[in-house]
Amino acid sequence: MARVAYRSSDVDLMARMMRAEAEGEGNQGMLYVGNVIVNRVVAECTDFKDLRTVKQVIFHVQGGNYSFEAVQKGNVFYQRARESERRLARRNLESWRQHPAKYSLWYFNPYGPCPPTWYNQPFTGQFKQHCFYEPAPGTCASVYNG
């Protein structure tokens, strides 16, 4: 059973975001980004309480900006999804989860060392240029269960 309900349009949208955010980090990096997207769909906490679809997660606005920078700045995001990224997106939607993004709700590229916390959320690990952060203990059981 899939981690979240999805349609083919969700696969395409997620594949485009994975590529736009992490193409330079290869398939593994794109899978980690996909992991965060799916985690946000299942999260019943913090900024993600009312997001239940891939589309809602990708076009989520926080503080007047899209949560994913590629939505407003990335021309790669607006290119057609490729089959290779669609396969990766389906893997995430179905079941794929792995450290350091296994339970992560956030990631970013700090252009320097990863800080030990980000907005009070603990650092879980780094893959190439991206630092990953999961909810503080006891704050988001749905991510660990979903």
pLDDT band with cut points at 50, 70 and 90 for residue 145: confident
| Residue 21 phi, psi dihedral angles, 5° rounding | -85, -30
pLDDT at 74 over 80: no
68: pLDDT confidence band, cut at 50, 70 and 90?
A: very high
**Residue 57 pLDDT:** 98
**Average pLDDT, stretch 72-101?**
94
Which tokens belong to 101? 């993004």
Question: What pTM does this model have?
Answer: 0.96
For range 120-125, the mean pLDDT: 96
- Mean pLDDT to the nearest integer, 124-146: 93
Mean pLDDT value across residues 102-129: 95
CATH of domain 8-145: 1.10.10.2520
CB 103 within 8 A of CB 39: yes
Which pLDDT belongs to residue 28?
98
Contact 10, 53 (CB under 8 A): yes
